[in-house]
Amino acid sequence: MSTRAEQLCAEIADAILSGDLTPGSRLDEQGLADRYQVSRTPVREALRLLAATGLIEVRPRRGATVAQVSSDQLVELFVAMGEIEATCARLSAISMSPIERRQLESLHERMAKIVDSGDEGSYAEANVVFHTRIYKGAHNSVLEEVANGLRRRLSPFRRAQFRAKGRLPLSHMEHTAVVDAILRGDADQAHQAMLRHVNLVEDTFEQMSAGVAAKRDLVA
Amino acid sequence: MSTRAEQLCAEIADAILSGDLTPGSRLDEQGLADRYQVSRTPVREALRLLAATGLIEVRPRRGATVAQVSSDQLVELFVAMGEIEATCARLSAISMSPIERRQLESLHERMAKIVDSGDEGSYAEANVVFHTRIYKGAHNSVLEEVANGLRRRLSPFRRAQFRAKGRLPLSHMEHTAVVDAILRGDADQAHQAMLRHVNLVEDTFEQMSAGVAAKRDLVA
DNA sequence: TATTCTCATATTGTATGCAATTATAAGTGT
DNA sequence: ACACTTATAATTGCATACAATATGAGAATA
């Protein structure tokens, strides 16, 4: 087992990613220390670790808050994510081993069945694996880390992404374009297909959040 | 003025980037505390901040050391850097404002004169500005941060990059291809030109480090 | 009544002390 | 002579205590 600070980092991250701690909420050091039965010291370290990943923001002398990204920043995050993913896809088309290609294809076929079953939860889960495989396939741990970091930062904002009507079959079709290009080693096509895919994810999100915003306006 | 930990972070980073602290050297908390006349607490925070940027490595219970990247990791860093820079160049070709394009062009012309003068120091300085302008021109703060972070991590390993014989005019020629593509809004060409440029930087580095390694072998 | 200044309170930043773990070195046995 | 064990020392991790600064309430004044 590692250090207490790292454990706290993971626990707090979970609390944020699960929606238990909502964006903008204040993270009181003493409060967290009490809650987790430790002193402030490891809590502080955990907060710095989280700040490094972008999940929270710490302003000197002003404490830490769960990062609340503006609409503009969210767009930037999605654009960056798309570019990084597209890069990974391009490199995967060049660098993936035959075994990795085979595994990607097999996963894609399994996901086809999940689409038919309509199980959104399973698809979301498999989707993470799908993208992770492509990060790994690029054979570059630096890019892989950046990609995983961005995905983590964005995950609070697309939890219900696949609830959008008919999104599952669409997502799978887009994946097909990506997988085909990677399997036949067409780097440029892989890049384009992945960029298109992530952009469409972004669009879906924007439509949904627009709906949520509308509801919020009605309630408020 | 910010917090003590951040100041220390900057000072230690300078010590590393200036070559004062060499890769692999141990960073004793108490030692640093004594050296900078503070207690261990802010030193610890500074070390975590540095670890987040990849400049140092901290292993639980085993202290911090200046990151020494293996030859493989170094290649990965250069590849990732190239991909990110190429992405920024492509986005710059699309997104740069007329003013930004004008500024890039002007800087490029100024650098031509520096090449003629043969002043390697001035060129290296201007080169950082050149690349930074392209990060900014992508109009995406996330990518910009990633790019700056990678550049920082790599900087210890290419300090003497422009000392390589005839590298200055070559670098400038490569820049010309990048600038031309960006100015005329040719995204694909900007991408390709930048990728080629960074790959050549990597090659240069590898030749030089091979030379250094050879010397080391002779000495040892 | 609104605004600004002051002061009290709460929270963060830093220092110090203690406990736990790891590195070091000495001593012993083969 | 070398490897292994054990004990000591040094260093990190965590807790607590103190100092410095931001925040908010309340009062005084325009």
pLDDT bin (cut points 50, 70, 90) of residue B45 is: very high
CA-CA distances (angstroms) from residue A55 to A58, A90, A129, A171, B77? 10, 28, 21, 27, 24
Query: Across all residues in chain B, what is the average pLDDT?
Result: 90
d(CA B104, CA B96): 10
In angstroms, the CA of A42 and the C1' of D26 are apart by 37
Q: Which residues of chain A have pLDDT under 70?
A: 1, 159-160, 209-220
pLDDT bin (cut points 50, 70, 90) of residue B38 is: very high
Structure tokens at A51: 């700040």
Nearest CA in chain A to B76: A140
Q: Does position B126 have pLDDT exceeding 90, yes or no?
A: yes
Q: In percent, how much of chain B has pLDDT > 90?
A: 75
For residue B220, give every residue at least 6 positions away whose Cβ sits within 8 Å of its Cβ, in sequence order, or none. Answer: none
Q: Is the CB of B71 under 7 A from strand D?
A: no
Nearest CA in chain A to B6: A60
CA-CA distances (angstroms) from residue A18 to A152, B13, B51, B67, B163? 12, 35, 27, 34, 52
Q: Does position B140 have pLDDT exceeding 70, yes or no?
A: yes
pLDDT of residue B216: 40
pLDDT of residue A19: 86
The complex's ipTM?
A: 0.89
* Residues around strand C, C-beta < 7 Å: A 26-30, 40-41, 44, 58, 60-64; B 3-5, 38-42, 45, 61-62
All residues of chain B having their beta carbon less than 8 Å from the beta carbon of residue A80 are 140, 142-143, 146
In this prediction, residues B143-147 reach a mean pLDDT of: 97
Nucleotides of C under 7 A from a protein CB: 11-17, 21-23
Going through B20-140 in order, the beta strands assigned E by DSSP cover: 26-27, 56-59, 63-66
Give Cα A21 to chain centroid, integer Å.
17
User: CA angle, corner B130, sides to B129 and B133, nearest 5?
Assistant: 80
Task: Fill in the DSSP letter of residue B156.
Answer: G
Q: Does position B220 have pLDDT exceeding 60, yes or no?
A: no
Question: Of B76, B79, B140, which has the smallest distance from its Cβ to A76's Cβ?
Answer: B140
Chain A, 7-36: which CBs lie within 7 Å of strand D?
none
Of A214-218, B27-31, B206-210, the least confident: A214-218
Residue to mutate among B87, B90, B142, B152, with most A CBs inside 10 A, is B142
All residues of chain A having their beta carbon less than 8 Å from the beta carbon of residue B136 are none
d(CA B175, CA B85): 12
pLDDT of residue B187: 97
Q: Does A9 touch chain B (CB under 8 A)?
A: no
pLDDT of residue A210: 65
Residue at the smallest CA–C1' distance to nucleotide D20: A61
Q: How would you classify the pairing of strands B63-66 and A56-59?
A: unpaired
Q: Does B70 touch chain A (CB under 8 A)?
A: no
CA-CA distances (angstroms) from residue B38 to B8, B45, B68? 10, 12, 27
Nearest CA in chain B to A52: B52
CB atoms within 10 A of CB A47: 24
In this prediction, residues B7-11 reach a mean pLDDT of: 96
pLDDT of residue A213: 55
d(CA A26, CA A48): 15
φ/ψ of A65, rounded to 5, equals -135, 150
Q: Is the CB of B3 under 7 A from strand D?
A: no
Structure tokens at A169: 């079959």
Q: Is the CB of A62 under 7 A from strand D?
A: yes
In angstroms, the CA of A200 and the C1' of C9 are apart by 51
d(CA B150, CA B81): 6
Q: Does B79 touch chain A (CB under 8 A)?
A: yes
pLDDT bin (cut points 50, 70, 90) of residue B105 is: very high
In angstroms, the CA of A62 and the C1' of D27 are apart by 27
pLDDT of residue B200: 80
Q: Which H helix or E strand runs over A137?
A: helix A120-137
In this prediction, residues B85-98 reach a mean pLDDT of: 98
Interchain pair B140, A79: CB under 8 A: yes
User: CA angle, corner B202, sides to A131 and B93, nearest 5?
Assistant: 65
Domains delineated in chain A: 4-66 (1.10.10.10), 71-219 (1.20.120.530)
